[in-house]
């Protein structure tokens, strides 16, 4: 359960002026829900995610996770970044096992869990590869496995498929959904793709640009498990895409 309450963030720019990145954001995400934060680039959606992660401080307002105020990062909230942020000096196994060892899981147990996870994200056989030897899609699979490894209650995904080609992107969206349907973690998913947000989410939080404010919250009542090819023919899906795209179009106020 994530409760975001009247959150604002102001940055001091290089020229010394104050720039409001986020203004008065309130959002509550029940446990097990998949919520996308959708908005044009520069709307502060990633900043919102970083504040929930405890990586960036809010200027005002607060975030509570499981009833406790967020004051810093913690293993209950696992981030996945667009740029993968893998440790380049560690192998695939080394990356995925890192958080487990950091959490004090005994090595033997940790190794078993890593092997299982790598199988789940289709990276069996790549255990000893280094990040520079992997494609973007494989790097993001490693990053997702690394975050899932320490079993956070909440996944914070910052445009995780934004740097991937269309084919890999679709592939990973499906894999993410099948993983999510198994363990139903709470997910905050930042994206600027309307289709991606609708395909994945229970709810879409639409933001305006600069300063980032709430524009609309749309419930996505499409049945699960979702199959892309079926959704594309589904009228409700099509109507939701159009509805949200119209919302995003008239963002210039």
Query: Would you tell me which residues interact with another protein (CB under 8 A)?
Result: 50, 53-55, 72-75, 77-79, 81, 83, 85, 87-90, 98-99, 102-103, 130-132, 146-147, 150, 152
Shortest spacing between CB 31 and another protein, in angstroms: 19
To another protein, the closest distance from the beta carbon of 213 in angstroms equals: 25
Nearer to another protein, 121 or 244 (CB): 121
Shortest Å, Cβ 85 to another protein: 4
Nearest to another protein of 128, 238 (CB atom): 128
Question: Which is nearer to another protein, 34 or 150 (by Cβ)?
Answer: 150
Measured from the CB atom, is 50 or 237 closer to another protein? 50
- For the CB of residue 148, give the shortest distance to another protein in the complex, in Å: 12
91 or 214, CB closer to another protein?
91
**Measured from the CB of residue 46, what is the shortest distance to another protein in angstroms?**
11
CB of 103 to another protein, least distance (A): 6
3-state secondary structure the chain: CEEEEEEEEEEECCCCCEEEEEEEEEEEECCCCEEEEECCCCCCHHHHHHHHHCCCCCCEEEEEECCEECCCCCCCEEEEECCCCCCCCCCHHHHHHHHHHHCCCCHHHHHHHHHHHHHHCCCCCCCCCCHHHCCHHHHHHHHHHHHHHCCCCEEEEECCCCCCCHHHHHHHHHHHHHHHHHHCCEEEEEECCHHHHHHHCCEEEEECCCCECEEEEEECCCCCCCCHHHHCCCHHHHHHHHHHHHHHHCCCC
Nearer to another protein, 68 or 224 (CB): 68
């Amino acid at each position: 359960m994530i409760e975001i309450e009247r959150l604002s963030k102001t940055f001091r720019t290089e020229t010394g002026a104050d720039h409001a990145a986020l203004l008065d954001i309130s959002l509550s995400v029940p446990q097990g829900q998949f919520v996308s934060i959708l908005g044009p680039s520069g709307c502060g959606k990633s900043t919102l995610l970083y504040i929930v992660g405890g990586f960036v401080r809010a200027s005002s307002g607060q975030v509570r996770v499981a009833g406790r105020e967020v004051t810093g990062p913690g293993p209950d909230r696992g981030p996945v970044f667009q740029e993968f942020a893998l440790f380049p000096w560690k192998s695939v196994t080394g990356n995925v096992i890192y958080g487990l060892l950091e959490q004090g899981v005994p090595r033997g147990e940790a190794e078993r869990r890593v092997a299982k996870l790598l199988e789940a994200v289709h990276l069996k056989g790549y255990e000893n590869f280094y990040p520079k030897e992997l494609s973007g899609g494989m790097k993001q699979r490693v990053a997702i496995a690394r975050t899932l490894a320490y079993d956070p209650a909440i996944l914070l995904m910052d445009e995780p498929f934004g740097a991937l080609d269309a084919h890999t992107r679709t592939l990973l969206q499906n894999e993410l959904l099948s993983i999510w349907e198994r363990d139903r973690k709470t997910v905050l998913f930042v994206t600027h793709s309307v289709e991606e947000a609708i395909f994945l989410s229970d709810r879409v939080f639409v933001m305006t640009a600069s300063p980032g404010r709430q524009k609309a919250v749309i419930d996505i009542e499409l049945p699960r498990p979702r199959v892309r090819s079926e959704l594309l023919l589904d009228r409700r899906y099509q109507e939701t895409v159009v509805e949200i795209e119209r919302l995003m179009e008239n963002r210039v106020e």
